[in-house]
Structure 1
Amino acid sequence: MEDIKLYFVTYNVGTSVPVQELYDLLSLPEELKNEKNHQLPDFYILSFQEVKAQPHNLFLDAIFEDPWTTCCKELLEKRNYVKLKSVRLQGLIMSVFTLRKHLLSIREIESEYTRTGLSGMWGNKGAVSVRLSIYGISMCFVNAHLSAHDDHLKDRIEDYNTIVKDHEFHVPEHTEIFFHDYVFWMGDLNFRLLEEFEQSPEEIERIILKKDLATLFKNDQLRHVMKKGQAFSELGEQTPPFPPTFKFEVGTNSYDYKRRPAWCDRILYKVSPHNYENITLKAEQLTYKYHPFYTLSDHKPVTAEFSVKVFSDFAESIIEFDKISTWYLEEDNEVVYKVNPWKIPQTEEDWIGLFKENFNSLDDYVCYNYTNKSSSVSTETKVEKSESLKYTLTFSELPSRCHGNYVLVYFSQSEDKVLSVLGISDPFPILKKDSD
């Protein structure tokens, strides 16, 4: 088995924009030159709640990324991360980034969402999720924003059970959240202190200042319902070593007495250790902390880092591209690629995208073509299982803005939009004919 590191962020941004630097949030040195001895996570999973979601913002975000994802991506792309997937439900956003070196070992990327606001009619509360397979191990990440206020505990319990029941993926054997090897559930879960714990906000703050967090946490609603099996009992959580993350006066580190302080912002996880013979899966939590530097919202962000076990000798079959010397803007351009039909089932939805060489998102293709338009290079009518088939695909009318080095990426895509990266070509230049 091999270890990979996952870094999680959950932050209710309270409709703010990221005017504060995000280095601390992502646990990154401000200078790239200081990162020589800094081990970067293999994956970042970023969860935001209450991202500004007025109708005009939703229209813009359908075309452009939200400002929080954009700011994080700008920092991460300098460190060779690629965004695999973003999913949004009104103010709820989750994005998953990976180091580029892992791209060809990631399969079956899919997202889901569940509305729970107004009895499922409105997406101001609910959950978004991303599931995928990494080196043969299945993972599911959930970002939830549950019902608010101290006295709405039953609503939070109902929200959780609705999300678990409603979420349905299209990958065989992994159709539900808890049908995965690893599950990580985070967000503004909005659990407060038990109503029977009758201390006022001022009294609770005095307990916090005495650093008697254990007394407060005995009255945590989330841990209470977990023990009773009403919600989140499938998951575990390290006891938060930080003070309550809500509610603060915006722009300060002072609690707002309009609400009783509580641990609303949480990161929980579940491991199914014995899903494979002679193998034990394991997740080791390395950090769990809040970030008081951020004062843009009445919440403080929370982060966690995990080291998880995956298969070290896992090898996926990939599409192999023939080397391309040069493509030209004014001409039809061909790519030749090799497929082992016995290992890689092709679908009508498979496609090849043209990307800049150092692309930072799977959404950033310049153009694409479906592989069902390919022609077989081989004249053989019968293919042995040890053989591979070669195909050629023509790209016409490249966008005039193409200039510099590019790569081709082969995507396997099902009818249900489950996406896998099966191959990446070597870089090649695109030139004008009179420039060669």
Structure 2
Amino acid sequence: MYVIGLQEMNCGIMSLLSDTAFEDPWSSFFMDVLSPLSFVKVSSVRMQGLLLLFFAKHQHLPFVQILSTKSTPTGLFGYWGNKGGVNICLKLYGYYISIVNCHLPPHMANNDQRLEHFDRILEMQNFEGQDIPNILDHDLILWFGDMNFRIDDFGLHFVRESIKNRRYSDLWEKDQLSIAKRHDPLLREFQEGPLLFPPTYKFDKNSNNYDTSEKKRKPAWTDRILWRLKRQPQANPQTQRPPAPNFFLSLRSYVSHMMYCVSDHKPVTSTFDLELKPLVSTPPITLMPEGLWTMENVMLISYSLTPDFPSSPWDWIGLYKVGLRHINDYVSYVWVRDNQVSFSDGLSQVYFNISDIPETEGQFLLCYYSNNLHSVVGISKPFKIQPGSSLAEDPLGESQPHI
């Protein structure tokens, strides 16, 4: 999976109108890069200059349920979205995960305001109608963004000399976020990797030089990635051993990328290993294309569903080229109820008209989209659509000659 958060995107009125009608350039860029690797954009949320993207490999799609997306503005007393947070809440193999991308207030003196905005964003992440409405009860919270925390007390010369000599640990004790975690029990529950990379702000644009303007802002680790795991059950009094965790996250890397110079910040990335024991191991829908698919025939799809699946008249099945970029990147689709031809013993069949089948051969797959769950709940194995022949079998009848 890939989770990507951007801040301070172009949020002029023309840019926002264009991005509403079309994919914004950053989303398109990441889809261009990730779709050849079988990653699909599952969800996104934008609030002015904040953008959050979630990608997953297509084989995981039936086990990813997007529960909600939220925007929490904190600028101008909560009425303006130049600052705040955007959130994607999802279930992954039955576990609850919340992802937050934030942009907190800037400037050295506004540390208390940053902490207030952090708390406000956290308080607003309630999910009424869900089994677990409180974000703090979710199995994992990923929280990252331009948090704008600065380095207190130390002078500019000392900070720059420490960076020059790679003595980053000399600066940790005065990092505002580290200080806040020592005093705030809830904030302390959020973990972070060691800051073993140079402060990521502020740079002259198109360079690796820290701010040389008249302001000469002091470098700081403004761009951070935090995570919080739900508290594990207590140890069994008889064995004195805690139960083995079913959901475990470990940090593999936490780095900045100095080669990118398009901003006055340097991007930061983390790589995690996520180990889990699936709470859901069977997809709600099992899809299978019937027979040999060609460009000249009505084609059948068989599917079965689990007993508790909440079907809807607005469910649909999409036909996609292998390498799809996002859920709406279908070649064609059919409404399940409109095109159903049989139903018996939990097995249903729907058909694709000839007009719905592409006229170019290649590798394709089918996805079942649930209107109630707002997610893909079934995906077929890849299959090939071939050119027709002069005599082909109609799956709804008998062999038909083609002229």
Residue 111 of structure 1 corresponds to 69
Residue 318 of structure 2 corresponds to 353
Residue 287 of structure 1 corresponds to 253
Return the match for 2:290 from 314, 319, 323.
323
426-435 or 108-117, which moves further after superposition?
Answer: 426-435
The offset of 1:50, in angstroms, is 1.1
Q: Return the letter of the residue paired with 1:358.
A: G
SS of alignment partner, residue 87 of structure 2 = strand
Q: Rate the CA distance shift 1:244–1:203 in 2: closer, same or farther, 3 A.
A: same
Return the match for 2:163 from 203, 208, 222.
208
Contact 2:318 2:333 in 1 (8 A): yes
Is 1:271 the counterpart of 2:229 in the alignment? yes
1:267-314 Cα shifts (integer Å, max 9, x gaps): 001112536994413211111111111111110111111112211685
Is 1:98 the counterpart of 2:65 in the alignment? no
Q: Return the letter of the residue paired with 2:95.
A: I
Q: Return the letter of the residue paired with 1:427.
A: F
The offset of 1:62, in angstroms, is 1.8
Unaligned runs of 5+ in 1: 1-42, 381-386
SS of alignment partner, residue 58 of structure 1 = helix
The offset of 1:167, in angstroms, is 2.2
Is 1:344 the counterpart of 2:344 in the alignment? no
The offset of 1:347, in angstroms, is 2.8
The offset of 1:205, in angstroms, is 0.9
Contact 2:43 2:66 in 1 (8 A): no
Q: Rate the CA distance shift 1:83–1:190 in 2: closer, same or farther, 3 A.
A: same
The offset of 1:125, in angstroms, is 1.1
Contact 1:413 1:420 in 2 (8 A): no
Distance, in Å, in 2 between the alignment partners of 1:170 and 1:423 is: 29
The offset of 1:348, in angstroms, is 4.0
SS of alignment partner, residue 392 of structure 1 = strand
Instruction: Output aligned runs, 1:28-427, within 5 Å.
Output: 43-108=1-66, 110-169=68-127, 172-194=130-152, 197=153, 199-229=154-184, 232-256=187-211, 258=215, 259-272=217-230, 274=232, 278-280=243-245, 281-311=247-277, 314-317=280-283, 318-326=285-293, 328=295, 333=298, 335-340=300-305, 342-375=307-340, 377-378=342-343, 387-392=345-350, 397-398=355-356, 403-405=360-362, 406-414=364-372, 418-424=374-380, 426-427=382-383
Distance, in Å, in 2 between the alignment partners of 1:341 and 1:214 is: 54
Distance, in Å, in 2 between the alignment partners of 1:188 and 1:153 is: 13
Distance, in Å, in 2 between the alignment partners of 1:79 and 1:207 is: 40
The offset of 1:155, in angstroms, is 1.9
1:254-275 Cα shifts (integer Å, max 9, x gaps): 1115222111000001112536
Q: Relative CO higher for 1 or 2, CA cutoff 8 Å, sep ≥ 6?
A: 1
Q: Percent identity?
A: 28
Q: Return the letter of the residue paired with 2:380.
A: I
Q: Return the letter of the residue paired with 1:366.
A: V
SS of alignment partner, residue 109 of structure 2 = coil
The total of aligned residue pairs comes to: 379
Residue 17 of structure 1 corresponds to none
The offset of 1:357, in angstroms, is 3.0
Q: Rate the CA distance shift 1:275–1:80 in 2: closer, same or farther, 3 A.
A: farther
Residue 38 of structure 1 corresponds to none
1:98-134 Cα shifts (integer Å, max 9, x gaps): 2233233323453222111112211111111223222
Distance, in Å, in 1 between the alignment partners of 2:29 and 2:352 is: 36
The offset of 1:349, in angstroms, is 3.9
Contact 1:134 1:310 in 2 (8 A): no
Instruction: Compute the RMSD of aligned alpha carbons.
Output: 3.0
Q: Return the letter of the residue paired with 2:331.
A: V
SS of alignment partner, residue 114 of structure 2 = helix
Q: Rate the CA distance shift 1:117–1:327 in 2: closer, same or farther, 3 A.
A: farther
> TM-score under structure 1 normalisation?
0.78
SS of alignment partner, residue 151 of structure 1 = helix
Query: Over alpha carbons, which structure has the higher Rg?
Result: 2
Distance, in Å, in 1 between the alignment partners of 2:155 and 2:186 is: 26
Residue 397 of structure 2 corresponds to none
Unaligned runs of 5+ in 2: 235-241, 393-403
The offset of 1:430, in angstroms, is 7.4
Contact 1:409 1:425 in 2 (8 A): no
Q: Return the letter of the residue paired with 2:156.
A: P
The offset of 1:206, in angstroms, is 2.0
Contact 1:412 1:422 in 2 (8 A): no
SS of alignment partner, residue 177 of structure 2 = helix
Residue 9 of structure 1 corresponds to none
> TM-score under structure 2 normalisation?
0.83
Q: Return the letter of the residue paired with 1:429.
A: I
